[in-house]
Each structure stands twice: as C-alpha cells, then as structure tokens.
C-alpha cells in the first residue's frame, strides 16, 4: 500500500490537551497537517493549542455527551474546512480490585472508553462515507489483547475498541476509508500514576505512540503495537495455554500491576476522572 502524504491533511483529535493526544497533535503538525483538538478541559485545550501553534484550534469536548461531541466535530470541520483523519484518543483508566472499584466511576469509564469511541466513529464516518475518503484511528491498549487482573472493566473496554475498529473496517473499509487500532503498552502519562510498570518491556513515551499513529495514517497500517515487540509477545501468549501463560505472567509481575499500586500517587488522577 502506497504511503499517503500528510501535508495539508485535516486532523481531529479527542482528549488532546495532554498526554498521547497532545503528542499526536504535535507529530501531525510536524508532518504538515492541520489540527483541531478537543478535551473535557476546555481551558487546557486552549493552552495546548497555543503551545502547538500553527493555527491549531481547540474546543471543549465531553465525549459522553452526544450534543457536545456533535458540536465539536462540526466546529472542527468548519475551522479546518473538512476532516481527513479522526483520532479517537480520549480515555480514562480506573484500576483496582474489581469488588472495590467505584461503580459510578466504572460506568463513566465505559461511557468514555466505549460509547465515546463509537460516537466518534459514527460522526466521522458520516462525513467519510459522503466524501469517499478518511481515516479513523482508535487509541486502544495492549490491555484489549491481554487480560490483566485489577483492570477488568478497562480490559473489557479496550477489547471492545479493538473489535469495534475491526468490525467497522469490514463494514466500511476501502482503499480510501481506513481504520487503525493503536495498542500502546504502559505509557508515561498520568493514566499510569502510582503503578510500577511491566518487567516485560519498558514504559513508552507519548511521542512514541504519536509516531506510531502518524506512521499508520501514512501507510494504512491496521494494527499498531507500541512498542512493536508487544505485538509478537501478546500474539504468542495464547499459544502457551492458560497454565503456562498465567505462571509466566505472575512470575513477571504482570498480574500485580493493576492490583498493587501507590494509591496516594494515583489519588489526584482518580479524583480528576471522577470529576470529568
């Protein structure tokens, strides 16, 4: 598949005031694209747009509110003169023992991580099918491929993103309407506050995930693991069988990472997503 030039491409990114979304906006701008960003924190989005420069526009966005999402996409489309790439990045990660998780927070995370992604795809695809081209990028997680104790809801949500992206590709995908599921491992953003990471591979930086997203839009890659080594490792684990896989993951501490963490170091993030 031939590479697509990103110069002049019109890119919309949700949850882009910080972290992966912000880094992705910066990477697209460096590649010559024009960018609109949205975030639940409208003030932070404006600050981010100012820092990004290059006529980046920002709008407040609540991905769980259909009216807010509809208005955001319409405003971004008007500001950019159209949309070529839509990046569903907004997401939260509540973790902890399943029977102790705040049920209201869990419901909110489903709204953001699943319903928000479906709404974003629908709004983007209405435009892409009408104009005959476009690229939807959904930011998932390796947790959507590998189950992790303490992340029962989060794993379910990211598995939903993985399968929704693939189902949409089958239903709508053509050479000119493309879909990509991006699956980062532990990334150095506030989502992993208080956790100890994985022994299997080091944490990645938001810029590395951003580079993977930009490369996928250039090349049309459908699945992107960050780091790349995560793909072969996670795809091979089911071949081991549950007994061997579980023993290996317990030995490596993988199964503890969402159960044993510094609650005080994570408190600020947990409180913020409760208020979002």
Ordered structural domains, the chain, with CATH:
10-228+241-275 (3.40.50.720)
Across residues 198-219, what is the average pLDDT? 92
pLDDT in tens, 116-155: 999 999 999 999 999 999 999 999 999 999 999 999 999 9
Whole-angstrom Cα distance, residue 250 to residue 149?
11
Tell me if 186 sits within 8 A of 230, measured CB to CB: no
pLDDT of residue 202: 84
Across residues 268-272, what is the average pLDDT? 83
Confidence label for 271 from pLDDT (cuts 50, 70 and 90): confident
Whole-angstrom Cα distance, residue 265 to residue 272?
13
Whole-angstrom Cα distance, residue 146 to residue 31?
32
Whole-angstrom Cα distance, residue 272 to residue 274?
5
Alpha-carbon Rg for the chain in angstroms: 18
Whole-angstrom Cα distance, residue 259 to residue 267?
15
Tell me if 53 sits within 8 A of 7, measured CB to CB: no
What pTM, to 2 d.p., does this model score? Answer: 0.94
**Would you say residue 1 has pLDDT above 60?**
no
What 3-state DSSP class applies to 49? Answer: helix
Among residues 69, 86, 128, 154, the one annotated as catalytic is: 154
Instruction: Give me the percent of the chain exceeding a pLDDT of 70.
Output: 98
By CB neighbour count within 10 A (0-12 exposed, 13-18 middle, 19+ buried), where does 228 fall?
exposed
pLDDT of residue 243: 94
**Would you say residue 219 has pLDDT above 80?**
yes
Token digits of residue 5: 């030039």
Residue tagged 């930009």 (tokens):
214
Residue among 193, 190, 198 nearest 230 (CA): 198
pLDDT in tens, 31-69: 999 999 999 999 999 999 999 999 999 999 999 999 999
Whole-angstrom Cα distance, residue 238 to residue 228?
18
Across residues 190-201, what is the average pLDDT? 81
154 is catalytic: yes
HSE at residue 7, side-chain half, CA atoms within 13 A, is 1
Residue among 53, 8, 16, 4 nearest 33 (CA): 8
Alpha-helix runs per DSSP H in 53-87? 66-80
Residue among 51, 26, 40, 152 nearest 90 (CA): 40
Residue among 63, 117, 84, 87 nearest 180 (CA): 87
pLDDT in tens, 176-187: 999 999 999 989
**Would you say residue 276 has pLDDT above 70?**
no
Whole-angstrom Cα distance, residue 175 to residue 85?
14
**Of the ranges 113-117, 185-189, 268-272, the best mean pLDDT one:** 113-117
């Amino acid at each position: 598949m031939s590479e697509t030039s990103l110069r002049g491409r019109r890119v919309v990114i949700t949850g882009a005031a910080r972290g992966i979304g912000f880094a992705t906006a910066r990477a697209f701008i460096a590649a010559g694209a024009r960018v609109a960003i949205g975030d639940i924190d409208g003030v932070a989005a404006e600050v981010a747009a100012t820092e990004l420069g290059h006529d980046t526009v920002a709008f407040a966005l609540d991905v769980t509110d259909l009216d807010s999402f509809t208005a955001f996409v319409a405003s971004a489309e008007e500001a950019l003169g159209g949309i070529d790439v839509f990046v569903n990045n907004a997401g939260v990660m509540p973790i902890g023992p399943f029977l102790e998780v705040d049920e209201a927070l869990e419901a909110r995370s489903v709204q953001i991580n699943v319903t928000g992604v479906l709404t974003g795809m629908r709004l983007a695809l209405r435009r892409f099918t009408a104009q005959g081209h476009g690229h939807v990028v959904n930011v998932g997680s390796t947790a959507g491929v590998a189950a992790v104790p303490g992340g029962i809801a989060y794993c379910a949500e990211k598995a939903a993103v993985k399968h929704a992206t693939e189902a949409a590709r089958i239903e709508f995908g053509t050479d000119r309407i493309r879909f990509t599921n991006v699956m980062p491992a532990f990334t150095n953003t506030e989502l992993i506050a208080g956790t100890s990471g994985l022994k299997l591979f080091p944490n990645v930086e938001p810029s590395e995930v951003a580079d993977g997203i930009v490369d996928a839009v250039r090349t049309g890659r459908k699945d992107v693991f960050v780091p790349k080594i995560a793909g072969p490792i996670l795809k091979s684990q089911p071949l081991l069988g549950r007994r061997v896989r579980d023993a290996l993951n317990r030995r490596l501490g993988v199964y503890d990472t969402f159960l044993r963490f510094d609650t005080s170091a994570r408190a600020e993030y947990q409180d913020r997503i409760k208020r979002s």
